Chain A
Amino acid sequence: MSESILDIENLTVSFDDNEVIENLSFSAQKGDVIAIVGPNGAGKSVLFRAMLGLIPYSGKINWAPKLKISYVPQKFNVEKDFPITVKEFLQLKSKSRSDIMSALKSVGIATGHHDNHHLEHHFLNQRVGWLSGGQVQRVLVAWALLDHPDVLLFDEPTAGIDVGGEETIYNLLKKLNDERALTVFIISHDLNIVYKYANTVLCLNKKKLCFGSPSDVLDPQALLKLYGGEASFYAHEHK
């Protein structure tokens, strides 16, 4: 029924003889929302970088042919004093005004009844560094959507996003997933998000510790194994 979009077989990534990812295999179907969870340093961001071909690895990473993959990195250095406006930032990827407007519409920034003058002055000509955490994420997702990708790799920032803002960005990703059959990979630190939005979860701590639907595989034992004592709160919640 569903077509395979990614097959990873025996993926191993090492830095200086130190294995960061060990023998990882899994596959993803078109339209999946796959959450990757695990403690700090578990190799989650490294997995993304390997999937993008940015670092050397052994094993196989096979994407379906002719895919457009967009990436929102975790480390994104738009400091407060970096002089670049939202418009200039988006134009780094696409010069087309209509593409930019439609991407902004997709992320809920440019709505139909928003008048253009307001948008131009209060948003497009603002410094990216002055936006709130939630707004920056929307702009980053808009940036990622600009070339109409089939796959989105979203490395969630660890801090700086208010809870309200976080909620909406995931609603948005879910909406895009529904509307465009966009396949989404999210590195998430928030297990509530995973339960709510992902149809598949990959627990990663160097090795694959669980893989499947969140409600099936994220049981207290799996979490204990994944996080050790760290996730006792979540473990209790699901007893």
Chain B
Amino acid sequence: MNDLFLQLTIAILIGIGAGYLGSFMVLKRMSLVGDALSHVALPGIALALLWNFNPFFGAFTVLFAAILGVWALERKTELPSETLVGIFFTLSLAIGILLVPDHELLEALFGDISSVTIADLLITLLSVAAIVIIISLIRRGLTISTLSKDLAKSMNISVDKINFIFLIMVSLIVAIGIKVAGTILTGSLVIIPAAAAKNISISISKYTLLAALFGAIASIGGVFMAALWSLPPGPSIILTGGIIFLATLVFKKF
């Protein structure tokens, strides 16, 4: 039971962080960035498993390097970086699969929250707190630059700096999300709650709040569903999110 409580707390925290951050990713049309980035994390997880340290640090280090690359690419070229990003990210997935020991591969790919420890709780708590606080601090500039980059620049908002901070937060949520949903499914932790919230919100304040709330609800539903029917928690959480999304479609504001 104690174990379940730990799982639940971690899952809820991640749900809140992923939902809140995801709401801005969806507005910035970066829905699939989380998905692509989670693939990059795999080699980092592999190294952590091989050298026996917490996979969070391996994942975050590799993600941070990837983020630097994307950010530099975005600044240097106005070209769509899709192709390069696509190649780079699938390559790291391939390298990761080759590096991860066979018996750990399933966990790395799909996540396993049943193996979490107190250390994971601490890492998650600190990361989610950082995400919520930092995003709240930059949300004005983030919103204006999403509406119009030129407008933001004409108001002396440092768009590049804000985007960089935002990307670091994205890599942070992906690094902790992998514990729950693995490299394959983590992307949907950030997209689904935000997409559901967008269906039924007129204002941005309600939208971001609902996204965080839906993230938490999906986590609660998923963890209980998994415990009840002995299912893997990651996919259960994402399925619960999917149900929330379908429900909001009924009330969609046109």
Contact = CB atoms under 8 A, between A and B. Distances in A.
A49 B253 CA distance: 36
A120 B24 CA distance: 26
A29 interface: no
User: For B150, B153, B204, B205, which residue has the most chain A Cβ atoms within 10 angstroms?
Assistant: B150
Query: What class of interface size applies to chain B in its complex with A?
Result: 20 to 34
Contacts of A71: 150-151, 154
Contacts of A83: 198, 201-204, 206-207
A82 B140 CA distance: 15
Interface in A163-209: none
Interface residues of A, number: 21
Contacts of B85: none
A233 interface: no
Given A83-B202, A83-B203, A92 B150 contact: no
B202 A126 contact: yes
A137 to B, nearest CB: 14
B142 to A, nearest CB: 10
A125 B204 CA distance: 11
B146 A85 contact: no
Given A73-B150, A75-B150, A81 B204 contact: no
Nearest to A51: B154
Contacts of B253: 127
15 contacts: A49-B150, A54-B153, A54-B154, A69-B154, A73-B150, A73-B151, A75-B148, A76-B148, A77-B146, A78-B147, A82-B27, A83-B204, A84-B203, A88-B203, A125-B202
Interface of B: 27, 140, 143-144, 146-148, 150-151, 153-155, 198, 201-207, 253
Interface of A: 49, 52, 54, 69, 71, 73, 75-78, 81-85, 88, 92-93, 125-127
The 9 closest A-B pairs by CB, nearest first: A83-B207, A71-B154, A83-B201, A84-B204, A85-B203, A73-B150, A52-B154, A127-B202, A73-B148
